[in-house]
């Protein structure tokens, strides 16, 4: 089983829509969680860290469910500029690796 699994999509949504991505992780000892955004032919950039209590940054909300071992990202009022691939990243509390999902592709349509 993969360490981190994401639905690759693609998700095609109209402007202004709300879209949610889920990501599951296999190791219950995972400690740190992040969402990264990667534009086409660019490097990944941190979108937000995910905290146990959930956190919000403008139109973006991240949630962590440790019992079910999944992380979610909610984007409200989608903009054309939100079109990108969203990578879920998980770090265990032992070992050193950050584990990346394959990414979920989002296209926001005018």
Comparing CB distances to another protein, the nearer of 17 and 98 is 98
Q: Is residue 49 close enough to count as binding another protein by CB under 8 A?
A: yes
Kindly provide the residue ranges of all beta strands, DSSP E only, lying in the chain, ordered along the sequence: 4-6, 11-14, 19-25, 30-38, 44-50, 55-57, 60-65, 70-75, 84-92, 98-100, 104-109
The pattern of x and - marking residues 81 through 100 that bind another protein according to CB under 8 A reads: ------x---x-x-xxxx-x
Q: How far apart are CA 83 and CA 81, in angstroms?
A: 5
Distance in Å, CB of 84 to another protein, minimum: 14
Which residue, 8 or 16, is less far from another protein as judged by CB?
Answer: 8
The span from the CA of 78 to the CA of 107, in Å, is 10
- Alpha carbons 40 and 104: distance in angstroms, whole number: 12
Q: How many positions of this chain bind another protein (CB under 8 A)?
A: 23
Pick between residue 42 and residue 66 the one whose CB is nearest to another protein: 42
Binding residues for another protein, rule: CB under 8 A, are 4, 8, 31-32, 34, 41-46, 49, 87, 91, 93, 95-98, 100-103
């Amino acid at each position: 089983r993969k360490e981190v699994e994401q639905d690759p999509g693609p998700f095609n949504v109209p402007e202004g829509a709300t879209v949610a991505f889920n990501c599951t992780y296999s190791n219950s000892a995972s400690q740190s969680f992040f969402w990264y955004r990667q534009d086409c032919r660019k490097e990944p950039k941190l979108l937000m860290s995910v905290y146990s209590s959930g956190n919000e940054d403008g139109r973006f909300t991240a949630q962590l469910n440790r019992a079910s071992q999944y992380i979610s990202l909610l984007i409200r009022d989608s903009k054309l500029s939100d079109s990108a691939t969203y990578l879920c990243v998980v770090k265990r509390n032992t070992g050193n690796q950050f584990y990346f999902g394959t990414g979920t592709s989002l296209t926001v349509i005018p």
